Structure 1
C-alpha cells in the first residue's frame, strides 16, 4: 500500500458536518467567488508545455488546474480519495495532479480540489468539486465535455455529485460522464463495517487498543475525543501484538498466531492491516465525534466471525455494539448512493484491492438496478492488487471509452475496453490488466452480514 495512506493519519482536524442532509437534485451550483486561478509552475511529471493554475476557492479549498497545449476540450474533474484528516493543504492537490498526470498527457484538462475541510463529508466534497468546475468555466470557458472521475473515497464523492447535479426538468447537468475507480461506492453505512469487525477482533486478540491501563471506551468511537494517541504509537501496539514490522521468521509464535487470526477473520492482506487499523481508529473518531454528534453508525450485532483457531470462543468474547438508527440515517444521507445517475458511468476496480473491497461493486450495481439506471453502468475489473493508483494505460483507456459512449452512443463492453487498452499501452505504459470475465461476489461473501436498524 502506498505510503501516503499512512501519512494521512498523522493529524486529525475537526469540523462540523453541515452537509449531512439530503440535497435536492435541482440544487444550483455552489457560488463562485474570490480571486481567479493564478498561473503557477507545473508540478514535476507534467508535459513541459502544460499551463498550470492554482488557488483557493471561496470556501477555502485549495486546487490545481492543468491544461495541456494539445487540449482536446474535455475537462476531467477529479475527486480525491481519503478522506484526509487534518487541515487541507495545497500539497494534497499537488500530489493528486502528479499521480494522475497521465490524464494531462492524454490531452485532457484536469482540475482537482482538496475539499474545504479535512475529515469525512461526502456531500460537502461533492459540492466543493462542483464549485471548482464552475470556477474553471468562469476562468477558461465551457469545455466540450466534462467527465467526473472519483478515486477511492472520491468515487463515492463523484457518485454523489453526479446525483446532486443531474439533469432536472430538461436542464442539462454539468457532467457528461462518470468514472469511478477503486471506489468506496457502498456508502458509509456498509463500506466500513469490516473496520469495526477489525477493531473488535483486534481487541479480543491483542487487548492493547485501549490498553488495560487506559479508560475503556466503545470501539466504534475509534478513539475518545480527548485522546492524544498518535499513528506511530498505534503502530507500536500493533507490532507488539502481531510483529507486523518484523520478518515472519523474527515473530514469536504468539505474534504469528495473533496475526493469522486477524487476517483470516477479517479477510485482509497483511500489508493493509496497519492502514485499516488507522482508519478504524482516527477516521472513526472523526466520523463519530465530529460528524454524528457522538452517535454510533457502526454495529456488529448478529455477526458470526469465522477463520480463527476457535470461532466459538471468538464470537462469545468479542464486544458487540448495536448501531444507532439516527446516526445511521445521518451517515446514509451524507454518503450513501441513490443510483439516480443519468449519465454514462464506467467503473474500474482491482480484484485484489486491499483497502476498498472489490465486492463493493456488487453493492453499487444493486443500487443502480434498484434506481433503474443500471443500463448506464459498465463495470470493469483488473488483476491488480493496488488501491491508490492503477496502471497508467488504464485511465486514458477508460476516458476514451466513456467519451465514445457519450458522443456516439456506443456503450462499451469489458472485452472491448480490454482490447482498447492494448492499443493504448504502448503510448502510456504500465500494462493492461483488465479481466473481462470477472464478476464480483456479493459483499456478504466478504463481510459477514449483521442486524441493521
Structure 2
C-alpha cells in the first residue's frame, strides 16, 4: 500500500500543481483540440479491472479508439499508455480493451489510465505520439485534471513514449504535458538500429532455406520485407518456415538438417528457437509496411559490412548471404520518425527483462548512449529483471517503478536499481510475488548482439 509519507507527498504535489503545474491559456499541439473532441462515454470495464473503477471509451477526431480507467480512490496521477506492436490492421476498440486488461495493475494501484489504439496501424512513431497526446487532452478536458501525468511506453510503445516526451514539452505545448516517463520492455534504439537483426534473420534464413521467396517466384530485395501490394499472412509465412525448419514439430521429429538450420539461426541471430517465427513475421510484414508506406518504396535497412558468426562455416555463410545497402533517403526519413535524440526534459525510469527475446537488453545500452549524447543521462535510471516476459514482467514491478518515479519527481530523490529492488518487496503484500530486480546488471553494447554494419552518412 502507499505509505503515509507518499500520500502526503501526493497531497503536496496536488497543492503545488495548482500554480506550478497548471494549464496555460496557450496550450498547443494535439491536446489543444480537446474541447472540440466528442466527450468519452462511460462503458463497461474489460476483464481484470476492479469494480470500483469507472471506465470510459471513445473514438477521437482522427479515428483512434481509446479506453480510460479512473479508480474511485484516484490518487490524482494519470498514466498515459503507449502500446506496443504495432498492429498492422485498422484500429479497433477491442485493442484498447485488451490493453486496459493487461495494464489493469495501474488502476488497481490507484492511478488513472488512458490508452489510445492510435489512428492507424503500422510503423509510424510520431503519429502514435500525437494520438497519445491528443488523448491526454481529452482526459483533462472531459474526465479530470491530474496532479501528475506519467507517459508509459511498452515495447514498441516505449519508442513512441521516448519520442513523444521529446516532441511535447512545456516549450512546444505551452504547458508541461508529462512529469515523467516510464519505459518498459522497450524497443529503444530507434527504428534504424532496433530492427537490423530482422534484416539479418531474413538473409540468413533465406541462405539456409531458399523458400521465402522460392526460386520459382518473383525475386525481391529481402530488406523490403515484401514488395508493395503483395499479401502474405502470418500463417502463410509460418507454413514456409515449418516446411524448412519444422518449428511446429517436437525436436525429436525433426531431421538432422532441420536441427542444424535451427541451431544456426539461434547462434547467429542470438535469439531462442521460440522467437524465430515471430521475428521472421515482423521482418516480412512490418518491413513491408515501412518500405511501402513510410519510406517511399525504398528500404532503410541494410547489412553491408555485417559479419555473421556462430554457424558451422561462417566463411561460407558470409559469402553466401544476400547483401543490401540501406537507401539514404529512406534511412533519413525513418530515423526522423523513429530514432530518439535523447533530449527528454523530465525523469525517465526504464525496466527490461534481461532475457527478453523481442526487445534485446542491449537496446537499453544504446538508449543510454543516446540519452548521454542528448544531455539527458542524469534524468535516466535503468533497471533490469531476472524473470518475466516481454509482454509483462510482474504485478509488483510496475507500482514499484511508478512509486520510484513519482518520488523522484516530487521529492528530488533520484532512485537507484538497489533502492527500487528494495522497495519492490514492500509491494508484494498488496500485488503478489514477482520482484526480480537485478541490482548489479549492466547490458553490453548493442554491437555485441547485432553485428555492426555500414550506414548512410
- Matched residue, 1:104: 107
Q: How does 1:334-373 map to 2 (within 5 A)?
A: 334-373=337-376
Q: 1:264 and 2:267 equivalent?
A: yes
1:26 Cα deviation (Å)? 7.7
User: How big is the alpha-carbon RMSD for the aligned residues of Structure 1 and Structure 2?
Assistant: 1.4
Q: 1:62 and 2:65 equivalent?
A: yes
* 3-state SS in 1 of match to 2:455: coil
- Matched residue, 1:278: 281
* 3-state SS in 2 of match to 1:92: helix
Q: 1:31 aligns with which of 28, 33, 50?
A: 33
1:27-52 Cα deviation digits (max 9, x unpaired): 56452333100000111111111100
* 3-state SS in 2 of match to 1:168: helix
Residues in 2 aligned to 1:450 and 1:183: alpha-carbon distance in whole angstroms: 22
Q: Structure 1, unaligned stretches of length 5 or more?
A: 1-24
Residues 167 and 342, structure 1, Cα contact 8 Å, conserved in 2: no
- Matched residue, 1:449: 452
Q: Structure 2, unaligned stretches of length 5 or more?
A: 1-26
Q: 1:393 and 2:435 equivalent?
A: no
Residues in 2 aligned to 1:439 and 1:26: alpha-carbon distance in whole angstroms: 39
Q: 1:167 and 2:170 equivalent?
A: yes
- Matched residue, 1:9: none
Q: 1:115 and 2:118 equivalent?
A: yes
1:198 Cα deviation (Å)? 0.3
Residues 29 and 173, structure 2, Cα contact 8 Å, conserved in 1: no
- Matched residue, 2:13: none
Residues in 2 aligned to 1:326 and 1:227: alpha-carbon distance in whole angstroms: 23
Residues 30 and 131, structure 2, Cα contact 8 Å, conserved in 1: no
Q: 1:376 and 2:352 equivalent?
A: no
* 3-state SS in 2 of match to 1:285: helix
* 3-state SS in 2 of match to 1:298: coil
Residues in 1 aligned to 2:84 and 2:262: alpha-carbon distance in whole angstroms: 28
1:212 Cα deviation (Å)? 1.4
Q: 1:302 aligns with which of 285, 300, 305?
A: 305
Q: 1:51 and 2:57 equivalent?
A: no
Residues 31 and 138, structure 2, Cα contact 8 Å, conserved in 1: no
Moved more, 259-268 or 25-34: 25-34
Residues 26 and 164, structure 1, Cα contact 8 Å, conserved in 2: no
CA spacing shift, 1:161–1:245, aligned 2, 3 Å:
same
Residues in 1 aligned to 2:448 and 2:427: alpha-carbon distance in whole angstroms: 35
Residues 176 and 343, structure 1, Cα contact 8 Å, conserved in 2: yes
Residues in 2 aligned to 1:383 and 1:198: alpha-carbon distance in whole angstroms: 26
1:314-341 Cα deviation digits (max 9, x unpaired): 0000000011111110001001001111
Moved more, 121-130 or 425-434: 425-434
Residues in 2 aligned to 1:197 and 1:423: alpha-carbon distance in whole angstroms: 43
1:228 Cα deviation (Å)? 2.7
Q: 1:179 aligns with which of 173, 177, 182?
A: 182
Residues in 2 aligned to 1:228 and 1:375: alpha-carbon distance in whole angstroms: 46
TM-score by length of 1: 0.93
Residues in 1 aligned to 2:279 and 2:88: alpha-carbon distance in whole angstroms: 14
Residues in 2 aligned to 1:155 and 1:329: alpha-carbon distance in whole angstroms: 21
Residues in 2 aligned to 1:203 and 1:39: alpha-carbon distance in whole angstroms: 51
1:384 Cα deviation (Å)? 2.1
1:165-211 Cα deviation digits (max 9, x unpaired): 12328954210010000000100000000000000000000000001
Count the aligned residue pairs: 429
Residues in 2 aligned to 1:28 and 1:388: alpha-carbon distance in whole angstroms: 28
Residues 353 and 384, structure 1, Cα contact 8 Å, conserved in 2: no
Residues in 1 aligned to 2:169 and 2:197: alpha-carbon distance in whole angstroms: 32
